[in-house]
Amino acid sequence: MLGWQWLAARGFPLHRRALNPDFHPDLTLLKPLKGCDAHTEECLRSWFKQEYGGKVQLLFAVASENDPVVPVVRRLISELKFADSELVVCENLQGANAKVAKLSRIQSRARHSILVISDADVLAPPDLLNQIVLPLKDPRVGLVNCFYRLRDECNLAMRWEAVATNADFWSQVLQSNALKPMDFALGAVMAVRRGCLDEIGGFAALADCLADDYQLGHRVAARGHRIALCPVTVDCRNSPMNWGAAWKHQLRWARTIRVCQPVPYFFSILSNAGLWALLLVLWSHGWLALFGGICLCVRIVAGLDMQRRLMRRWQIADAPVMVLKDVLHAAVWLMAFLGNTVEWRGRKMLLRKDGTVVHIGEG
C-alpha cells in the first residue's frame, strides 16, 4: 500500500505550470471570512495581486459588521483600488455551516459563470487563477481543485498536522484517484462552473453539511461532471495550535470521512505502514523484528520524499514525527467510530449519517 501511494505521488506532475495559458474566462472569487490573525492580510492580499488575463470579481462575506476582518478587507479594497470588489455583511445566517451560509448569500451577486471558492487562510501564488481554470477548457470538467500545504509548524502538535497533510494526505488522494475518477473536492481552492452548482441546488443545498467541499465535489461528480486536479499548490497559513486543538481537528476530519466513506475509511487502518512496522519491531524478535525495522525505515524515507515533493525541500527532522503521526492516527481512527460529535469553531455539533450536522452546544 505504501509503495503504491509513493508511486502515485511521484507520477503526478506536482507544481507543473502551463506556460502562456490562453484560457481566461471571466470569474468571480467568493471568499467567506471569519476572524483575523497574523496571516490574514497577507493571504487576502495574494488574491488582489493575481496576474489573471480575464475579468475578476472579488466578493468577501462576513456575518457581522463587528468582525475584526472587516477593517482589513476594507483597507485592502481602498489601498489596492480593485475595481470589482465588495464586502458583504450577511446577518441572520441560516444553516449549521456558517461558511456555506455566507456563500449562499453572496452567490446571487456573482456576475460570472466561473466561481472560485477559497478558504480564508489560503495564500495563493500570483498565477493561481491562470492555472486553476485551465482544466475547464474541457467542457466535461465541472470542478477543479488543487492541493495545499501547511507551513506554520511552530510546535510539535502543528508538525503532526503538517506531516499528515504534507506527506500523506495529498498522496493518498492520488492513490484513491488511481482506483476511480475523483468524486470529491478539496476545499482550500475550488473553481466550479456556475451551471454545475445550480444543478445541485446551489450552496443552499450544502448549508447543513460539515464537509461542504467533499459534498460539493461528490454531487457535481454524481451529475456526470469530471473533477480535475490542478498541479499548482497553495499554502494554508494557520494560527498556532496546541495539542487539544490539533486532536479535535483531526478527530473532526476523521469522523467526517468515516461518515462520507465508511467502508474505505474502515479499511484505511491497513495502510498505516508506520503502525504495523512499529508493532513488528516492538512485539517480535529475530528476522521478523529486523523486517519490521526495515519497513519502518522505508516508511520514513517514503514519507520524507512525499513531503519533499509537496514542500520542495527536505525536512529530515520530521523523520520521528512520521512515526508519531502514524501512531496518533491509529488512535484517531479508533475514536472516529466511538462517537458522532465534533467540535467546530467552538461549537459542539452532532454529525448525522448523511454528513449533515446540528448544533448541540458550545465546545
Same domain, 306 and 169: no
Same domain, 178 and 103: yes
More confident residue, 258 or 238: 258
Distance in angstroms (rounded) separating the CA atoms of residues 363 and 361 = 7
Distance in angstroms (rounded) separating the CA atoms of residues 113 and 196 = 10
Q: In terms of residue numbers, what domain contains 295?
A: 258-357
Contact 183, 218 (CB under 8 A): yes
* pLDDT, tens only, 297-342: 999 999 999 999 999 999 999 999 999 999 999 999 999 999 999 8
Between the alpha carbon of residue 261 and those of residues 94, 118, 172, 211, 266, the distances in Å are 27, 24, 14, 12, 9
Strand, coil or helix: what is 150?
strand
Query: How high is the mean pLDDT of the chain?
Result: 92
* pLDDT, tens only, 10-50: 999 999 999 888 899 999 999 999 999 889 999 999 999 99
Same domain, 190 and 44: yes
Same domain, 149 and 267: no
Contact 315, 325 (CB under 8 A): no
Same domain, 174 and 313: no
Percent of the chain with pLDDT over 90: 77
Distance in angstroms (rounded) separating the CA atoms of residues 230 and 191 = 10
- Burial class of 81 by CB neighbour count within 10 A (0 to 12, 13 to 18, 19+): exposed
* pTM assigned to the model: 0.93
Rounded to the nearest angstrom, the gap between the alpha carbon of residue 331 and the centroid of all alpha carbons in its chain is 22
Strand, coil or helix: what is 20?
coil
> Does residue 149 belong to any structural domain of this protein?
yes
Same domain, 103 and 194: yes
Residue 363 clears pLDDT 60, i.e. is over it: no
Report residue 282 as a C-alpha cell: 516492538
Distance in angstroms (rounded) separating the CA atoms of residues 329 and 59 = 37
> Does residue 253 belong to any structural domain of this protein?
no
Strand, coil or helix: what is 332?
helix
> Does residue 246 belong to any structural domain of this protein?
no
Residue given cell 459534498 in the structure block: 215
Strand 27-32 versus strand 114-118 pairing type = parallel
Q: How many domains does the chain have?
A: 2
pLDDT band per the 50, 70, 90 thresholds, residue 349: confident
One-letter amino acid of 113? S
Q: Which of 81-90, 106-115, 291-300, 329-338 has the lowest mean pLDDT?
A: 81-90
> Does residue 247 belong to any structural domain of this protein?
no
